[in-house]
């Protein structure tokens, strides 16, 4: 892989597209800068023109045919080698992820581990990938089901989990015998190039995974989605905003394809009056401010019973004020910078919206400036995109700040009276990704699990931190009901084939050539003619 020295600091990774197994540059390129230090060019990448995207999809079609013929346990062998390579390079990759997207090193290690877990899970799945044997209603006839690959899958991913989330899609898609054209986030082209390189070293045949860099709207991301209209893609798997997810859903819908859409969230975390408040506040703090609030599973609304709200409020403000913000490579920080300028601006704008609506900022939550850094700040405020924690009090569910997703270190306190109101508030947004409840009451746990509309629910744990082998995904504006991870994702990357084998040597007609059941001894049926 090519690198370029910088006058000061670490080298820049110069990435290329990988199309049909060969590196490819483009006339236009862009730079990705370290969000903790805008002087550091972490990587550069091509801005892929549409013609190259089309070619990538066409080449992926050719590669898919032979890849699907490789027995599944052998395809899974590539995943075993990938897991081993990721493990060997976990520290170096984690450091690069921290530098490229600003994730604290501890979390960056966790996100690389999530990809390792996923590769290991699906390595073993390659020896199952079960179909069924089904009894036939006719003699000398056998029925079977098989999982078959879908074809060419377009994968479009976000920058906040630049290895983990792509691995949730690419690993099962390839295991199932599909080929993939991947448009990684323009916030993480270097991480994507390193991940793609490991696939190659793991022995994935050329052309089965293509990587095409660039921006989203009007650029490579949009061009890739449009290939479904051109008949060059059979499926799209997307993680990102609800607005873009809708557009992708429309393209897929008119082509009668089912996309996998993992979209936004406005995740509720409920604290009931009987909860262990220390534990609840620790969970709320991690859910709201971990990763600087830039997870689709981050908590947006803390829905707190009025009896314990004063205690929760005090504890939360006290703990959030003590959070250490700074350089993600510093092992001691709680959170690092915002991933990009756009997220930072949206988060700043959301403060004005909240204040105008009457929300009361208990912690003000502004961009950290060199002359006004919070105590204990450990970054370079002049060069980094840092944000101080924001807590809004007196938020009602009807307010925009309670309804709209905001990627950033911000959380709302919503007062409720008892379980009924808590569940109503938790279900009171159009989203439905993750959710959490803190209580010691088994009955309340059960009611919450049954009535919450979210796809994922934690009891006495935070809204984030889903494990790699449970179904991940949401309802409503959070997705179209497809799930990633574990055995459930196999349904997203395969189609069921039903096969019947007739050994009777004569035509047998289903539903017709059946022996009549005897009705001996039954009373006569009335003549209705």
Sorted by sequence, the CB contacts under 8 Å of residue 286 that are 6+ apart come out as: 462, 464
CA separation for the pair 468, 270 (Å, rounded): 24
**DSSP code at position 375:** T
458 forms beta bridges with 436
**Catalytic annotation present for 252:** no
- In angstroms, give the least distance from the CB of 405 to ligand UN1: 11
- In angstroms, give the least distance from the CB of 239 to ligand UN1: 6
Instruction: CB nearer to ligand UN1: give 165 or 304.
Output: 165
- Of 434, 364, 423, 426, nearest in space to 393 by CA: 364
**Catalytic annotation present for 219:** no
Q: Contact region for ligand UN1 (CB under 6 A) — 141-149, 159-167, 359-367, 396-404?
A: 159-167
Q: Contact region for ligand UN1 (CB under 6 A) — 46-54, 55-63, 204-212, 291-299?
A: 291-299
Instruction: CB nearer to ligand UN1: give 297 or 508.
Output: 297
SS3 content of the chain, % helix, strand, coil (to 5): 35, 20, 40
- In angstroms, give the least distance from the CB of 276 to ligand UN1: 22
**Binding test (CB under 6 A) with ligand UN1, winner from 160, 191, 242, 260:** 160
Find out whether 402 and 302 touch, Cβ atoms under 8 Å.
no
Alpha helix (H) ranges present in 358-474? 400-403, 418-426, 442-451
Instruction: CB nearer to ligand UN1: give 44 or 157.
Output: 157
If binding means CB under 6 A, how many residues of this protein chain bind ligand UN1? 11
Using DSSP bridges, classify how beta strands 209-211 and 179-183 pair: parallel, antiparallel or unpaired. parallel
- In angstroms, give the least distance from the CB of 383 to ligand UN1: 26
296, 405, 421, 484: the active-site residue: 296
Radius of gyration of the chain (CA): 26
**Binding test (CB under 6 A) with ligand UN1, winner from 36, 196, 296, 299:** 296
- Of 430, 434, 390, 431, nearest in space to 412 by CA: 390
Instruction: CB nearer to ligand UN1: give 150 or 296.
Output: 296
- For the segment 107-126, give every residue that binds ligand UN1 (CB under 6 A): 114
- For the segment 309-338, give every residue that binds ligand UN1 (CB under 6 A): none
The total number of residues shown for the chain amounts to 529
CA separation for the pair 272, 33 (Å, rounded): 43
Binding string, residues 66-105; x marks residues near ligand UN1 by CB under 6 A = ----------------------------------------
Find out whether 196 and 28 touch, Cβ atoms under 8 Å.
no
- In angstroms, give the least distance from the CB of 381 to ligand UN1: 26
CA separation for the pair 145, 267 (Å, rounded): 38
Any contact of residue 297 with ligand UN1 (CB under 6 A)?
Answer: yes
Helix (H, G, I), strand (E, B) or coil at 93: helix
Any contact of residue 165 with ligand UN1 (CB under 6 A)?
Answer: yes
Structure tokens at 515: 């022996």
- Of 249, 332, 319, nearest in space to 288 by CA: 319
Sorted by sequence, the CB contacts under 8 Å of residue 1 that are 6+ apart come out as: 13, 14, 15, 193, 194, 197
The torsion region of residue 522 among left (phi > 0), alpha (psi -120 to 50) and beta comes to beta
Residue spans of beta strands (DSSP E) within 277-354? 299-305
- For the segment 225-264, give every residue that binds ligand UN1 (CB under 6 A): 239
- In angstroms, give the least distance from the CB of 358 to ligand UN1: 30
Using DSSP bridges, classify how beta strands 179-183 and 152-156 pair: parallel, antiparallel or unpaired. parallel
- In angstroms, give the least distance from the CB of 262 to ligand UN1: 7
Q: Environment class of residue 440 by beta-carbon count within 10 Å: exposed (0-12), middle (13-18) or buried (19+)?
A: exposed
120, 262, 421, 484: the active-site residue: 262
**Binding test (CB under 6 A) with ligand UN1, winner from 183, 213, 223, 295:** 295
Instruction: CB nearer to ligand UN1: give 185 or 439.
Output: 185
CA 61 and chain centroid, separation: 25
Any contact of residue 471 with ligand UN1 (CB under 6 A)?
Answer: no
Instruction: CB nearer to ligand UN1: give 138 or 269.
Output: 269
- In angstroms, give the least distance from the CB of 161 to ligand UN1: 5
Instruction: CB nearer to ligand UN1: give 168 or 377.
Output: 168
Q: Environment class of residue 5 by beta-carbon count within 10 Å: exposed (0-12), middle (13-18) or buried (19+)?
A: exposed
Instruction: CB nearer to ligand UN1: give 75 or 169.
Output: 169
Instruction: CB nearer to ligand UN1: give 151 or 162.
Output: 162
Q: Contact region for ligand UN1 (CB under 6 A) — 24-32, 100-108, 271-279, 464-472?
A: 464-472
Q: Contact region for ligand UN1 (CB under 6 A) — 83-91, 115-123, 269-277, 290-298?
A: 290-298
Other residues' Cβ atoms within 10 Å of the Cβ of residue 9: 14
Find out whether 409 and 242 touch, Cβ atoms under 8 Å.
no
Any contact of residue 465 with ligand UN1 (CB under 6 A)?
Answer: yes
- In angstroms, give the least distance from the CB of 109 to ligand UN1: 13
- In angstroms, give the least distance from the CB of 412 to ligand UN1: 19
Instruction: CB nearer to ligand UN1: give 65 or 449.
Output: 449
CA separation for the pair 408, 267 (Å, rounded): 13
Residues that bind ligand UN1 (CB under 6 A): 114, 160-161, 165, 239, 295-297, 464-466
Catalytic (active-site) positions = 262, 296
């Amino acid at each position: 892989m090519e690198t370029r020295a910088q006058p000061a600091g670490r080298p820049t990774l110069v990435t290329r597209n990988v199309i049909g197994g060969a590196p490819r540059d483009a006339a236009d390129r862009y730079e990705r800068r370290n969000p903790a230090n805008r002087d550091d060019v972490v990587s550069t990448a091509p801005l892929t023109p549409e013609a190259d995207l089309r070619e990538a999809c066409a080449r992926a079609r050719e590669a898919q045919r032979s890849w699907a013929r490789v027995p599944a346990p052998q395809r899974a062998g590539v995943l075993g080698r990938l897991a081993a390579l990721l493990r060997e390079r976990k520290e170096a990759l984690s450091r690069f992820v921290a530098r490229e997207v600003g994730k604290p090193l501890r979390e960056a290690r966790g996100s690389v581990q999530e990809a390792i877990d996923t590769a290991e899970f699906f390595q073993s799945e390659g020896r199952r990938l079960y179909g069924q044997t089904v009894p036939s209603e006719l003699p000398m006839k056998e029925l079977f089901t098989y999982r078959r690959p879908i074809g060419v899958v377009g994968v479009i991913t976000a920058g906040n989990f630049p290895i983990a989330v792509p691995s949730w899609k690419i690993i099962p898609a390839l295991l199932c015998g599909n080929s993939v054209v991947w448009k990684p986030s323009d916030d993480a082209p270097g991480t994507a190039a390193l991940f793609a390189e490991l696939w190659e070293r793991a022995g994935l045949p050329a052309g089965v995974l293509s990587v095409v860099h660039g921006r989203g709207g009007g650029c490579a991301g949009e061009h890739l989605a449009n290939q479904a209209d051109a008949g060059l893609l059979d499926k799209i798997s997307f993680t990102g905003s609800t607005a873009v997810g809708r557009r992708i859903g429309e393209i897929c819908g008119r082509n009668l394809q089912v996309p996998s859409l993992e979209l936004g969230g406005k995740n509720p975390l409920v604290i009931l009056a009987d909860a262990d408040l220390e534990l609840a506040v620790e969970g709320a703090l991690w859910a709201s401010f971990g990763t600087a609030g830039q997870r689709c599973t981050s908590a947006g609304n803390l829905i707190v019973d009025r009896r314990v709200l004063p205690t929760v409020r005090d504890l939360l403000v006290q703990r959030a004020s003590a959070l250490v913000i700074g350089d993600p490579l510093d092992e001691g920080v709680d959170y690092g910078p915002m991933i990009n300028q756009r997220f930072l601006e949206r988060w700043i704008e959301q403060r004005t919206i909240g204040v105008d609506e009457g929300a009361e900022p208990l912690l003000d939550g502004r961009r950290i400036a060199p002359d006004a850094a919070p105590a204990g700040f450990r970054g370079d405020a002049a060069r980094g995109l840092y944000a101080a924690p924001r807590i809004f009090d007196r938020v009602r569910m009807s307010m925009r700040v309670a309804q709209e997703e905001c990627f950033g270190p911000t959380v709302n306190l919503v007062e409720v009276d008892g379980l009924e109101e808590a569940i109503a508030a938790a279900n009171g947004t159009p989203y439905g990704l993750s959710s959490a409840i803190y209580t010691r009451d088994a009955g309340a746990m059960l009611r919450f699990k049954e009535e919450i509309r979210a796809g994922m629910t934690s009891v006495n744990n935070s809204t984030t931190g889903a494990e790699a082998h449970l179904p991940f995904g949401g309802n409503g504006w959070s997705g179209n009901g497809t799930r990633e991870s574990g055995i459930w994702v196999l349904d997203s990357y395969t189609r069921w084939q039903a096969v019947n084998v007739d050994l009777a040597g004569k035509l047998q007609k289903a539903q017709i050539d059946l022996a009549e059941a005897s009705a001996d001894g039954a009373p006569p049926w009335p003549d209705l003619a």
